[in-house]
Structure 1
């Protein structure tokens, strides 16, 4: 049944730690004693692609010379940006309310509640100049918050708004989702269940599957904030600016690139380079990463260049974790493009000798920029010493301090559930009489899975055979492409009685079920050969120890996953290709009449159903143990523990996991054991 494996040529390696490996002898990497740490494999593989993408970005930039070429580039990137975050909803009535006022020293504050979408409430504070000193209508500035727990109430954010009002400009500051008064998940006691980056990342999981992003909601809230400013008679609708720090710098960058109503912009402590950031600090939370943007050429500098020649000020800090050298490099690219257009004076940068944060000189610089371009006053204004602002209680907009305690309030999770239900109805209609004609092309495109006949044969490294009672273990390392190594264990019974072989993949790697009394050895003792393999980023190459938000909820490889996300790639797709290539190779080692059964456990079932559905000739039988019941369930639950590596951006616009399982049933035997929901609890298939 089994062909010869050939001469054993490589020395067995047992020195490098792996994850979830029961037997030290089952550790195969690195193949070279001084080779890179196996857990860094995926990061290094992806960083090489980032470097290639950056070279292309630089070439494209240098080729962009004329105003016509720049205009075409701006339109292309805006279109791609909006597509990558799933587009925007229709405008609906804001239903604004002024829930209270506060009289400060030289300025006045109105506490505002509006609906960016029906029953989706936004809490904001409008800082207004003293009408006795400055006559309306005033220039209006939208101020976006960074990741402060108390949102708009943070003192330095209020001080920036008050400084604007003291100098004759209105400033509307609003709470982002999961900050201040806008926590989207509350406990039974009305307290935030998740806050700040933790909340943003959780929103990002379900949003990703819908083709959205946490940024989709943040940007739309900002756009509606500008709508509110322009609706007021005391605001000059033609003089709109935007500024914000840290996460507010992110929002400012997005808004200034996409909303043409923003004339002057001053993002602070954010703009650097995504290409450089992946090498240095790695990805930040969900909204700071747009699907595919490094592949289609949208770096931080592009947020400035997409709006050229409107006035843009980069506010930076010398000791920021957003790398200052990357910030200056990005600034130079933007400055050169502005100069090509004849408006070099409209692109500027200030650098404070500070750490990350909206420090005094950055606040003053941002407000001065607004004063220059929105009020035609080029003045060296300074923030008054000891500028008093509101307490958290004084700036509170809602009766009980949280929008989700308002009767009928809808969270971003509710909005995602609505969209998921809409997409489910569309899919049901499309799949009612079987898979749509072009389903394979659509699935391949979304997951990034090439046809098997376009994938090369793997290179195979064979290591010393291990003898066990009743069977042998042939250690292998398969390389489906440069930079990727898939450690594998080929368990061969002394007496082969089965007419098929099993390709076994487990979410924790090849050795997770290879204990003496485990499922793999049970199959082997029954006479079935088993090839257990680590899909990329699992087992020995599972990333561990990275700094990332909420590892226990989203997996230990969130930063590596986000590099792939920025490149427009999916772990599901890459792992599905691994399975297809390994399955084809395994078939070449068997007798012509032998078949292959694919067994997958846990999150490995997700690439498995993709591989089996798209390449039905490879696997005669498929067994799924503890599979995720559906991606829709991830969206429905809201709070979920589905790993990032198990997501496919926008998958639910075309298909869900049950659709792939239905396809498999048309050509192969499919067994599903112990399906789980998105919290790891038992579910019904």
Structure 2
């Protein structure tokens, strides 16, 4: 296994081990498909026992959030081309109209509120994403007013910028709830949540660029869907000094809009853990009795507070709950004003700060594009998607490895994308549970049936281990087939087909039964409804994990140093994707031909983010310089980038157009 990938996977596995330390038995059957998690499934905060453990978990959450939102590797930051116009001055503040381009041809609009009469600054800068109000950033009602908080932040001595959700007000290029819905978008990690997170990052770039803003005192606060934007930005952008997500962080509802559900985001973590990631930076969270945050005082609040206490920063976290419906009302705003006053403006003590009377500008006067006409270079919806895909293609091509230095850079860029997209961990010895069955003696070899799995993960795997009498004690071949392990053993557990060829040649063989053998479809596990992939793993992700678990079993329990994963039929494609956990692979490309988005929607090949990391070639290159043999590439299976990289970095790696016979595979493995 590659050392870079191994270190990251061990880190993830360590987190899994500490979280499930006291679960000591495998379930009587594999339970991973028993329950489909959704946005309303109640979640629990993991038990964290040390600062080091939290730092590891926080690192994983940051990485997973960034990958989920399409931010790994980091997209290039293009010229914002900001426009600030229409300044009006009021009592203690000014208001201006703003637009800029987070990506070329996509316009994000908002309003900028600045202090008057308080000198030239620099002042703290506060981002203000809004929730799903009918009127967007223009909302001004009893239960919430975006203008009210921006006006009063400015009067207090802060620069406040509020900007549109996509599809609202002056940012109409994509409809809010109807964009990025085609399943192929998941392959590229394209989502409304990802685009809005990028908008927030670029909004922070814009705010930071202003000469009257202090870049060491940046903050973000928003309500409901804006609260989601706030804690997601807090997880992925370290520039924020303070966050205030309002009426959103909950153990029982994670957000019901497409802008809050990116693929992979909450498979292992909920909004509670994501909201805790900024610790020990100051944070205030307000909840309400009339929405899904009603239990915050007893559930979410204490859980997050424990993380702050663990970091000796208990005084930097404050939470309050008020008897009210879903809101960012006057009482909530006054709580936030006081917290910002204390931590950003250095007021001696924290206490709610009263909100004076204010008058919002008319909607018409706040509009950036009052006639609804955007500049001529504004992209159409399909052009926005095409740009985002092309940006990823170009970035991947620019990072292709050519030597050891560029290989290291490629792994740094795409290793996290592979780990988080495929949701892989490499369990260590403490996290493996093995039930060893009675071994059978055969002529010249021994067969042993094993049942194994990870501690507390719900998996229960079976496998047959073949050990020749005169075997290489350091090398093990793991064989997989789309039909399961029956493809490699007879009724008396004697090996057949490729397993027999390898055993006869002196190579030990392990044949595991991976998740959902045979690939039976389960209608409850529909990948493309109810944000399934935000909360659950696909069959492919589970199978790649099973291969990682099998490789860990081989190394930590069975004692083999070199693990070769061999996949036949369609399972060869799963093998390529598991290459980073192996010391070598032999993969049947199943003559799939050119890889297209549509082909990767097949149930056994679908994983969000697969195209973003370069699909099969990307995974194979992450395993370099380990030997890789990909055969049966047929007419059109893409290997050009891999072949070029392997030629420079891995002389034992090769590709073959035709399908190799079992004897040829056995010979190649014996020569390693």
C-alpha displacement of 1:361: 1.4
| Aligned counterparts of 2:192 and 2:278: Cα–Cα separation in 1 | 22
Mapped to 2, the partners of 1:104 and 1:444 lie a distance apart of 49
Match of 1:370 in 2: 340
**Alignment map for 1:248-327 (pairs within 5 Å):** 248-273=226-251, 276-277=252-253, 284-295=256-267, 297-320=268-291, 322-325=292-295
Question: Quick one: distance in 1 between partners of 2:383 and 2:152?
Answer: 37
Q: CA deviation at 1:660?
A: 10
Q: When the two structures are aligned, how many residues end up with a matched partner?
A: 462
Task: Give the corresponding residue for 1:160.
Answer: 149
In the aligned structure 1, how far is the partner of 2:198 from the partner of 2:325?
Answer: 30
Q: Deviations over 1:506-529 (max 9, x none)?
A: xxxxxxxxxxxxxxxxxxxxxxxx
* Matches of 2:317 and 2:186, distance apart in 1: 33
Q: Aligned partners of 1:223, 1:427: CA distance in 2, in Å?
A: 22
Contact 1:304 1:312 in 2 (8 A): no
- For the Cα contact (< 8 Å) 1:243–1:267, is it kept in 2? yes
- Taking structure 1 as reference, are residues 391 and 358 closer, same or farther at Cα in structure 2, changes over 3 Å only? same
Residues 125 and 395, structure 1, Cα contact 8 Å, conserved in 2 = yes
Alignment match, 2:387: 418
1:396 pairs, out of 335, 360, 367, with 367
Q: CA 1:400–1:225 in 2, change beyond 3 Å: closer, same or farther?
A: same
Matched, 1:245 2:223: yes
Q: Tell me which of 64, 76, 79 is aligned to 1:80.
A: 64
Partner SS, residue 303 of structure 2 = helix
Deviations 1:229-274 (A, max 9, x none): 222222222211110011110010011222222112110111112x
Partner of 1:354: 324
Contact 2:39–2:255 (CA under 8 A) maintained in structure 1: no
Q: 1:424 to 1:230 in 2, by over 3 A?
A: closer
Q: Structure 1: how far apart are the matches of 2:293 and 2:486?
A: 39
Given that residues 447 and 573 in structure 1 are in contact (C-alpha distance below 8 angstroms), is that contact kept between their aligned partners in structure 2? yes
Q: Which of these residues, 78, 89, 93, is aligned with residue 103 of structure 1?
A: 89
* Structure 2 segments unaligned to the other structure (5+ residues): 1-30, 400-417, 425-479, 488-512, 546-568, 576-589, 617-632, 639-656, 660-672
Equivalent residue, structure 2, for 1:180: 169
Specify the alignment match of 1:45 in structure 2: 35
> Partners of 1:660 and 1:426 in 2: how far apart?
28
**Residue pair 1:305, 1:334 contacting (<8 A) in 2 also:** yes
Q: Say if 2:482 is the partner of 1:452.
A: yes
| Shift in Å, 1:343 | 1.2
* Equivalent residue, structure 1, for 2:447: none
1:644–1:613: structure 2 CA closer, same or farther, 3 Å change rule? closer
Check conservation: 1:204, 1:213, Cα contact below 8 A.
Answer: no
Q: How does 1:54-73 map to 2 (within 5 A)?
A: 58=46, 61-63=47-49, 65-66=50-51, 68-73=52-57
Inter-CA distance 382–205: structure 2 relative to 1 (3 Å threshold):
farther
Contact 1:46-1:564 within 8 A present in 2 as well: no
Q: Could you tell me how far 1:418 is from its partner in structure 2?
A: 2.7
Give the secondary structure class of the aligned counterpart of 1:393.
helix
Structure 1 Cα separation of the partners of residues 198 and 397 of structure 2: 29
- 3-state SS of paired residue (1:123): strand
Shift of 1:394: 0.8
Taking a change above 3 Å as real, the CA distance of residues 399 and 208 of structure 1, as seen in their structure-2 partners, is: same
Tell whether the 8 Å contact from 2:538 to 2:607 is kept in structure 1 after alignment.
Answer: yes
Matches within 5 A, 1:210-609: 210-273=188-251, 276-277=252-253, 284-295=256-267, 297-320=268-291, 322-325=292-295, 328-377=298-347, 378=350, 380-385=352-357, 387-398=358-369, 400-401=371-372, 405-410=374-379, 413-421=382-390, 446=422, 451-452=481-482, 535-537=521-523, 558-559=529-530, 562-567=531-536, 569-570=537-538
> Hey, what's the Cα distance between the residues in 1 that align with 2:356 and 2:128?
20
Scaled by the length of structure 1, what TM-score is found? 0.56
For the residues of structure 1 that align with 2:297 and 2:182, how far apart are their CA atoms? 26
Shift of 1:384: 3.0
Task: Give 1:140's match in structure 2, choosing from 117, 122, 125.
Answer: 125
Would the alpha carbon gap of residues 455 and 325 (structure 1) be closer, same or farther in structure 2, given more than 3 Å must change?
Answer: farther
Q: Is 336-345 or 91-100 further displaced after alignment?
A: 91-100
Which residue does the alignment assign to 1:512?
none
- Cα distance in 1 for partners of 2:286, 2:333 equals 9
Superposed counterparts of 1:110-125, under 5 Å? 110-125=96-111
Once the two structures are TM-superposed, the CA of residue 373 in structure 1 deviates from its matched residue by: 0.9
Aligned residues of 1:149 and 1:180 also touching (Cα < 8 A): no
Structure 2 vs 1, CA of residues 427 and 239 (structure 1 numbering), >3 Å: closer, same or farther?
closer
What is the TM-score with the length of structure 2 in the denominator?
0.57
Could you tell me which residue of structure 2 aligns to residue 462 of structure 1? none
